[in-house]
């Protein structure tokens, strides 16, 4: 289990901090990380920390393992402790030669890896995504956003361009996630208030459901949306604001991007949770389904398809 608490105090400064490029310990840790064995890599980094050896190139693997263990709730502490490392312990970690270059590369790797993991597991609605988001509250995201802003100020120079770009990407994800969590809380409170109004005062309100099926023909359905959906919503709002300001050059650019999105729209990218069970079942039973997919031009298939389109309930036997 990783522990970033050591970064909240001054670190020992060695004459030659970090490791040489040909140090076998460095090569071993990098090999573990390259094969995504971050738990083992973090254990090797911990051995170095116990010996007061601090190297930014391997420390980022330790930070990433913290995310692997604790999920999105750890983002605030990860960003805070990285800021502390740079601001308060600059001379304690290596490599001392071309330190700025290695900081840029290492932080860029870390932030890109975090963003890739968040976006991948959200889009695919994996079981890992559930674990990553477990217990995440708006306050956690607010703290992470504040820490990202503070760290961003520290690495805003041109020598940290790559790291800054990837940190901005992570900050965008945090902002969109905060917006979604707040909206979910507000909707849950509204549903609780509405349920309390409709039931007898003597009956205690239950926990509001995460989704409410609409009645036949109309209604409201609450869905868990992806980062892509939140970005599309922001673009739509941006287009409206630009038109209202009369800035039609920028509005045209945004509109063109939105049109490209709509023409290639795949609901799985925007509502991944809704299709998670479907995808899992297709994957599990593909060998039983595949032979029937070869028969889509037959008369019996077309008759069955017509029945399916006009009366889904009778088609499935309900």
Residue-wise pLDDT for 10-20, tens only, equals: 999 999 999 98
Q: Which residues of 57-71 are buried (b: 16+ CB within 10 A; e: fewer)?
A: bbbbbbbbbbbbebb
Q: Quick one: pLDDT at residue 318?
A: 60
Task: Give the chain's domain count.
Answer: 1
Q: Is residue 93 part of a domain?
A: yes
Cβ neighbours of residue 213 under 8 Å, at least 6 residues apart? 219, 221
Distance (Å, whole) CA 205 – CA 17 = 59
H or E element in which residue 139 lies: helix 138-154
Q: What is the mean pLDDT of residues 264-269?
A: 88
pTM of the model: 0.67
258 pLDDT band, cuts 50/70/90, is very high
Q: Is residue 108 part of a domain?
A: yes
Enter the tokens of residue 79. 């960003």
Q: Report the Cα–Cα distance between both ends of the chain, in Å, rounded.
A: 51
Least confident of 4-8, 95-99, 312-316: 312-316
Q: Is residue 51 part of a domain?
A: yes
Task: Tell me: pLDDT of 39 over 90.
Answer: yes
Q: Is residue 150 part of a domain?
A: yes
User: Domain range for residue 67?
Assistant: 4-181
211 pLDDT band, cuts 50/70/90, is very low
Q: Is residue 202 part of a domain?
A: no
Query: Contact, 48 vs 6, CB < 8 A?
Result: no
Q: Is residue 161 part of a domain?
A: yes
Q: Which of 79, 168, 156, 62 is nearest to 115 (CA)?
A: 168
220 pLDDT band, cuts 50/70/90, is low
**DSSP letters spanning 31-68:** HHHHTT-HHHHHHHHHHHHHTT--BHHHHHHHHHHHHH
- Model confidence pLDDT, tens digit, residues 95-123: 999 999 999 999 999 999 999 999 898 88
Highest mean pLDDT among 85-89, 180-184, 230-234, 236-240: 85-89
Distance (Å, whole) CA 92 – CA 274 = 48
Q: Quick one: pLDDT at residue 187?
A: 65
Q: Is residue 317 part of a domain?
A: no
Distance (Å, whole) CA 57 – CA 17 = 12
Q: Is residue 234 part of a domain?
A: no
- Model confidence pLDDT, tens digit, residues 43-92: 999 999 999 999 999 999 999 999 999 999 999 999 999 999 999 999 99
Enter the tokens of residue 215. 């009645």
């Amino acid at each position: 289990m990783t522990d970033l608490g050591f970064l909240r105090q001054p670190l020992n400064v060695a004459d030659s901090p970090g490791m040489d490029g040909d140090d076998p310990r460095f090569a071993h840790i990098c090999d573990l990380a390259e094969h995504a064995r971050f738990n083992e890599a973090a254990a090797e980094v911990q051995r170095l920390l116990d010996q007061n050896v601090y190297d930014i190139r391997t420390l980022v693997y330790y930070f990433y393992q913290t995310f692997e263990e604790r999920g999105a709730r750890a983002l605030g502490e990860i960003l805070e402790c990285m800021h502390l490392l740079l601001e308060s312990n600059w001379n304690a970690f290596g490599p001392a030669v071309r330190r700025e270059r290695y900081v840029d590369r290492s932080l860029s790797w870390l932030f890109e890896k975090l963003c890739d993991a968040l976006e991948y597991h959200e889009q695919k609605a994996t079981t890992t995504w559930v674990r990553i988001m477990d217990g995440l509250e708006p306050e956690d995201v607010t703290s992470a956003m504040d820490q990202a802003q503070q760290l961003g100020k520290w690495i805003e120079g041109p020598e940290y361009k790559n790291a800054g770009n990837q940190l901005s990407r992570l900050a965008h994800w945090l902002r969109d996630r905060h917006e979604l969590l707040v909206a979910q809380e507000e909707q849950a409170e509204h549903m609780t208030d509405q349920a309390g109004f409709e039931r007898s005062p003597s009956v205690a309100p239950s926990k509001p459901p995460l989704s409410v099926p609409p009645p036949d023909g109309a209604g409201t359905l609450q869905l868990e949306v992806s980062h892509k959906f939140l970005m599309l919503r922001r673009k739509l709002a941006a287009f409206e604001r630009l038109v209202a300001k009369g800035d039609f050059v920028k509005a045209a650019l945004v509109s063109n991007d939105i049109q490209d999105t709509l023409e290639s729209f795949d609901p799985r990218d925007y509502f991944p949770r809704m299709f998670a069970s479907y995808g899992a079942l297709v994957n599990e039973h593909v060998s039983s389904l595949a032979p029937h997919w070869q028969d889509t031009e037959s008369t019996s298939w077309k008759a069955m398809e017509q029945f399916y389109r006009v009366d889904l309930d009778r088609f499935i036997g309900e």
